[in-house]
Amino acid sequence: MQGSRLFMGVIGRCRAGGKRQFSTSKKRLSGDHDDGGIVGGNLPFDIHNRYKFTLLFTAFFGSGFGLPFLVVRHQLLKKSVGAGTADP
């Protein structure tokens, strides 16, 4: 009897704590920022200058797309140099 009361008390505290943490995390996730309905207000760069945006966009996505190809090229060159210097 005493053990079941203790168990139910622990379970009750865990459930109450879970509700409290959920409600506070919801407020934290909402944030205090308000972009005011401005287009591009939530982006970390300016989208109104067409040429600057094109340059940044190309550099950002081009580097992400091209990096795997550059890494493979580097590894293949490293392998071919290592294979050519081995003594028979």
pLDDT given for residue 79 in this prediction: 94
Tell me the per-residue pLDDT of 17-65, one tens digit each, with 9 for 90 and over. 555 555 555 555 666 666 677 888 777 788 889 999 999 989 989 999 9
**Rounded to whole angstroms, how far apart are CA atoms 4 and 12?**
12
pLDDT given for residue 34 in this prediction: 66
Rounded to 5 degrees, what are φ and ψ at 81?
A: -70, -40
pTM: predicted TM-score of the whole model, two decimal places: 0.43
Does residue 70 carry a pLDDT above 90?
yes
Counts for the chain of helices (H) and strands (E), in that order: 2, 0
User: Hey, what amino acid is at 7?
Assistant: F
